[in-house]
Amino acid sequence: MAGVDDIYRDEFRARVLAGRPRSLLEVGSGSGTFLRSLKGGIDRLAGIDPNADDVEALRAEGYEVVVGKAEALPFQDREFDVVVFSFTPHHIDDWVAALKEAMRVARHSIEILEVWYDDGIADQRVAHDYDRWCKEIDRRAGMVHNDTLSPGALLQPIIEGRGLTYDYACRRVSSMCNVDEIEGTGRARFTKAGDDAALKQGFEQIIKDARRHGMSEEGCVQMTIELGR
């Protein structure tokens, strides 16, 4: 059975291709999960990622991918019909700079897929708490791994007075997590992170909440920012 991420990716792919772009840049292309799914339908398909190993592997497959960061894109103004971020915004250190750069190099639109939790629902709040807890461990290990960006936080840097049109859909397939499995992987994570007392206490509370309310899989935001060019 397809996982929720696969379902969200398929929906997002259809959304991106609906505008029939002839050129597309994926910022944060990583190991190519999303980029590969676009192969065949677009004249120029490009990616950029700071991970040199991932870039090298994709180049070996024939993809046009370069090492670099979202905050300083090595491309001309309006060079691509569409610029895409797929599950990448919360990995980027400076989202404001990244979105401004995307606005510069995109001609028609920017398409964003980001993790989203429906915080009005108890089992989603528990899942969001667990996500934040995992990211705290990643940050202590030196990784940029921020909280998910809400639709408003995604748009905030560019929204003032520009006459832009945007739309988004918050999508969620409701599916529960196995709390026993989460407890096992979570404990292994904080033991590896050095058995920190605050982390442990946070984790015990999350598991207690999960036993009471349940914990569910994440949803996603699929957003299009139209540039009208």
Contacting positions for ligand SAM (CB under 6 A) = 27-30, 33-34, 49-51, 69-71, 86-88, 91-93, 144
Q: CB 30 → ligand SAM: shortest distance, Å?
A: 3
Query: Which CB, 30 or 202, lies closer to ligand SAM?
Result: 30
Q: Which residue has the tokens 């059975």?
A: 1
Query: Among candidates 2, 50, 53, 45, which has minimal Cα distance to 26?
Result: 45
Q: CB 205 → ligand SAM: shortest distance, Å?
A: 27
Q: CB 204 → ligand SAM: shortest distance, Å?
A: 28
Q: CB 26 → ligand SAM: shortest distance, Å?
A: 6
Query: Which CB, 51 or 205, lies closer to ligand SAM?
Result: 51
Question: Which two three-digit tokens encode residue 167?
Answer: 């739309």
Query: Which CB, 30 or 186, lies closer to ligand SAM?
Result: 30
Query: Which CB, 39 or 212, lies closer to ligand SAM?
Result: 39
Q: CB 190 → ligand SAM: shortest distance, Å?
A: 22
**CB-based contact 81:108 (threshold 8 Å):** yes
Q: CB 212 → ligand SAM: shortest distance, Å?
A: 30
Query: Which residue number has the CB closest to ligand SAM?
Result: 30
Query: Among candidates 115, 98, 128, which has minimal Cα distance to 225?
Result: 98
Chain CA centroid to CA 46, Å? 18
> Which residues does residue 223 pair with via DSSP β-bridges, in sequence order?
112, 168
**CB-based contact 105:25 (threshold 8 Å):** yes
- Phi, then psi, of 48 in degrees rounded to 5: -145, 140
Query: Which CB, 146 or 156, lies closer to ligand SAM?
Result: 146
Query: Which CB, 99 or 206, lies closer to ligand SAM?
Result: 99
User: CB-based contacts of 19: which residues, under 8 Å, 6+ apart?
Assistant: 81, 82, 108, 109
Q: CB 88 → ligand SAM: shortest distance, Å?
A: 4
Task: Write out the H or E segment, with its range, that includes residue 208.
Answer: helix 197-213
Query: Which CB, 144 or 188, lies closer to ligand SAM?
Result: 144
Give alpha helix (H) positions in 43-155: 52-60, 95-105, 122-140, 151-155
